[in-house]
Amino acid sequence: MIVVEHEKIELDYCTSCSGAWFDSGELELMLELVGLEGSSLPVTDMLSFPEAKTTENKRKCPICNRKMKKVTIGREPAVLIDVCPEGDGLWFDGGEVNELITQYVEKSPAESDSQERILAFLGDTFRARNGPAQDG
């Protein structure tokens, strides 16, 4: 994993699977940075979401080492993410950050400047290398 930093947001990025770890509060900070602060997704709220039915293996939190909960967020197609049960953060498989942000940009009345800032922030870093996210 490498650390990707942009405007006070530090994300851990896996160069092997293109996944990204957001410490608690970093997703909200990124959404605020690009003008989508009304769309915040606090980790604590996600802990109350129902467990998603999936065949994906559960990941362990890189901070507390507990098995994380799989939840879906966003609209169709919903994005399946891993949430630390202690509220330490979120894991996004390759391409999932881009999918979620694209959904928020499309439904937000934000100006095109916010869209450009999101795309500049994400670049190709969080896009899946080989199409849809792979189990990992």
* pLDDT tens profile 104-135: 666 555 445 555 555 555 554 455 444 444 44
Strand order from edge to edge, sheet including 89-92: 2-6, 9-13, 20-23, 89-92, 79-83, 69-73
Cα–Cα distance for residue pair 20/7, rounded to 1 Å: 17
Identify the pLDDT of residue 82: 94
Residues of the chain by 3-state class (helix, strand, coil), percent to 5: 30, 20, 50
Which of the residues in the chain have pLDDT under 50?
110-111, 124-125, 128-136
Task: Specify the pLDDT at position 129.
Answer: 44
**Helix/strand number for the chain, H first, E second:** 4, 6
Give residue 103's pLDDT.
74
Two tokens, residue 112? 């095109």
User: Is 0.75 surpassed by the pTM of this model?
Assistant: no
Q: What is the pLDDT of residue 37?
A: 58
- The pLDDT score that the predictor gives to residue 30 is 74
Could you count the other beta carbons within 10 Å of the beta carbon of residue 83? 23
Show the tokens assigned to 55: 């065949």
**Which residue type, as a one-letter code, is found at position 93?**
D
Whole-number pLDDT of residue 84: 94
